[in-house]
A and B are shown apart, each in its own frame.
Chain A
Amino acid sequence: GENVEQHPSTLSVQEGDSAVIKCTYSDSASNYFPWYKQELGKRPQLIIDIRSNVGEKKDQRIAVTLNKTAKHFSLHITETQPEDSAVYFCAASPTGRRALTFGSGTRLQVQP
């Protein structure tokens, strides 16, 4: 089955700096890669996703890049703000299978 590894496990940045979270996946058949944000005590919420036929996708201050050859994808957050502080999860799903495999999460702390 699919295995998703996520790094780093914790990340602390100054407000206004950029943050990058990286994930690798094992199943070359995976074609859908969402990212979720989970604030303390809350449910995970989808923030951005990308499919394997696209190399990069942006939505305001967040972007995701995908390298199919290397089987890794990354989340980029620019101009970080204190409200970006949360745990971020990457996930992957193979073609024809809706069940997502999640990474272990990255706790991002944005220092004001």
Chain B
Amino acid sequence: DAGITQSPRYKITETGRQVTLMCHQTWSHSYMFWYRQDLGHGLRLIYYSAAADITDKGEVPDGYVVSRSKTENFPLTLESATRSQTSVYFCASSESQGINYGYTFGSGTRLTVV
């Protein structure tokens, strides 16, 4: 859906560099999430946010930093990239209301750390 966009789609960076992945949604969804997808591991939660200025760690937060100063944006920063962070990163958002809260995912960012 065009309502949630990630950038860049592809990124190659060197070990030790800082890199930021962007996520923007236009629905004013309260919840936003960052997952990484690696073969054999499915989707693993890195960080999530329930609202602006509220963030929480997921399953694999080490080496990542997030912020959410505005409801629509949820950037993910790798402070010092390592090869083990080579992965496909998906951002997702979810409504705060309703009993079923399936995610809508962005198109993903394929990050390669060399």
Contact = CB atoms under 8 A, between A and B. Distances in A.
Interface of A: 1, 6, 32, 34, 42-46, 49, 51, 89, 91, 93, 98-105
Contacts of A93: 101
A102 B103 contact: no
Contacts, number: 54
B31 A43 contact: no
B105 A98 contact: no
Given A44-B43, A104-B41, A98 B102 contact: no
B90 interface: yes
B42 to A, nearest CB: 4
Contact of A43 (B42, B58, B90, B102): B90
B53 interface: no
B50 interface: yes
Secondary structure class of chain A's binding surface, majority of residues: strand
Nearest to B31: A98
Task: Identify the 8 closest CB pairs spanning chains A and B, nearest first.
Answer: A46-B102, A43-B105, A104-B42, A102-B43, A102-B42, A105-B42, A34-B102, A98-B31
Contact of B105 (A44, A51, A101): A44
A46 B103 contact: yes
B94 A51 contact: no
20 contacts: A32-B99, A32-B101, A34-B102, A34-B103, A42-B107, A43-B106, A43-B108, A44-B103, A44-B105, A46-B102, A46-B104, A49-B100, A49-B102, A51-B100, A98-B94, A100-B103, A102-B42, A102-B44, A103-B42, A104-B41
Given A43-B108, A44-B43, A99 B33 contact: yes
Contacts of B108: 43
Nearest to B38: A104
A49 B99 CA distance: 11
Interface in B18-63: 31, 33, 35, 40-45, 48, 50, 56, 58-59
Given A43-B90, A46-B103, A49-B102, A98 B40 contact: no
A99 B99 CA distance: 14
